């Protein structure tokens, strides 16, 4: 699983996803001038979030996770490296910066408990950490989120502090799905709705009403590569340019912790797999490097569309 865990801090319009954060008494960091903390996993999205915030004059401080975050990209921002499990060190660093609001964003492969380098702050939380390792990603990430909240931090979704990093409703590039692909998209979203109760399945590939692949722990990239492999092996024999990658957030999940994301590499892999396009849930899917996404999709002849969120308030 790619735990593209999104959590973020946000002052003003916050929190339809996070009612417990609706505190009238806190127009927090943005008003006080304190930096917003971004705990960075892998990929480019943490820096897109940081840039969006800085464009609005919101200072940030990055906490790149050793082994996951991009050591070059992080240099452009105020930052302190931390290791997974160093919760005590993180708390001291954040306090020194007067940082109370947090976004957790970027790829994060589930670590083995044994691989964590535990300090005293973490050890104090150990029973809760161990509990959060049972069950799927959502369980793990919201467990981690609770640890931050118990320590007095406010955790907010990246999509809330930086809505411009999410997919809009409609086509991102030049192409639009035809009626047959629209059917596959609907079929795929219905499948993901059925599997999301099991804390699994943020993505699937559908072609002509047939489910070619469902994502579990392997992640979207490996699932797309499986389509390529099955085509090459003759296991699936479809014309190129059919089949749709569908991604959706799990139902009723805390979206601060695990929004799906796509990026240029997703489109390139979907093209290699011979798919017709990609459909995501608008405003609930992060698009990394949207301009490159559009360039690659247009060149390869794929559509990329955002569909209205079935869980959005009317």
Q: What residues line the site for a copy of itself (CB under 8 A)?
A: 1, 109-112, 114-115, 133-136, 139, 187, 190-191, 194-195, 197-201, 204-205, 208-219, 222, 226, 230, 234-238
Nearer to a copy of itself, 29 or 215 (CB): 215
Give the integer Cα–Cα distance in Å for 255 and 216.
18
Q: How far is the CB of 77 from a copy of itself (least distance, A)?
A: 28
| Sheet of strand 277-281, all strands in order from the earlier edge strand to the far edge | 170-171, 303-307, 277-281, 244-247, 203-207, 210-214
Q: How far is the CB of 210 from a copy of itself (least distance, A)?
A: 5
Q: How far is the CB of 10 from a copy of itself (least distance, A)?
A: 30
Nearer to a copy of itself, 154 or 261 (CB): 261
Residue (of 277, 312, 284) closest to 167 by Cα position: 284
Q: How far is the CB of 219 from a copy of itself (least distance, A)?
A: 7
To the nearest 10 degrees (0 to 180), the angle between helices 264-272 and 290-300 is 20
Nearer to a copy of itself, 198 or 291 (CB): 198
Nearer to a copy of itself, 18 or 195 (CB): 195
Q: How far is the CB of 171 from a copy of itself (least distance, A)?
A: 25
Nearer to a copy of itself, 107 or 263 (CB): 107
Where is 305: in which H helix or E strand?
strand 303-307
Give the integer Cα–Cα distance in Å for 72 and 98.
26
To the nearest 10 degrees (0 to 180), the angle between helices 264-272 and 219-232 is 20
- Token pair in block for residue 230: 């099955």
């Amino acid at each position: 699983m790619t735990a593209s865990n999104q959590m973020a801090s946000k002052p003003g319009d916050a929190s339809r996803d996070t009612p417990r954060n609706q505190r009238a008494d806190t127009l927090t960091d943005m008003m006080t001038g304190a930096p917003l903390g971004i705990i960075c996993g892998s990929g480019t999205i943490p820096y897109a979030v940081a840039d969006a915030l800085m464009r609005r004059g919101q200072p940030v401080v990055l906490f790149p996770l050793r082994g996951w975050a991009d050591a070059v990209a992080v240099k452009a921002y105020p930052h302190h490296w931390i290791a997974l499990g160093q919760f005590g060190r993180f708390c001291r660093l954040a306090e020194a910066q007067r940082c109370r609001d947090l976004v957790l964003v970027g790829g994060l492969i589930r670590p083995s408990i044994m691989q964590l380098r535990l300090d005293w702050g973490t050890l104090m939380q150990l029973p809760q950490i161990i509990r959060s390792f049972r069950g799927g990603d959502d369980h793990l990430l919201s467990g981690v989120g609770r640890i931050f909240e118990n320590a007095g931090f406010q955790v907010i979704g990246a999509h809330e502090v930086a809505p411009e990093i999410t997919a809009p409703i409609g086509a991102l590039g030049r192409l639009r799905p035809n009626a047959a692909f629209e059917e596959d998209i609907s079929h795929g979203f219905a499948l993901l709705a059925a599997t999301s109760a099991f804390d699994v399945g943020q993505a699937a590939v559908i072609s002509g009403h047939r489910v070619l692949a469902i994502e579990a722990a392997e992640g979207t990239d490996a699932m797309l590569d499986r389509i390529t492999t099955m085509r090459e092996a003759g296991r699936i024999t479809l014309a190129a340019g059919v089949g749709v990658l569908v991604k959706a957030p799990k139902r009723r999940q805390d979206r601060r912790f695990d929004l799906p994301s796509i990026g240029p590499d997703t489109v390139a892999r979907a093209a290699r797999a011979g798919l017709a396009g990609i459909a995501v849930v608008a405003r609930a899917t992060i698009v990394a490097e949207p301009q490159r996404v559009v360039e690659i999709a247009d060149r390869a002849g794929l559509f990329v569309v955002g569909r209205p969120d079935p869980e959005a308030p009317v």
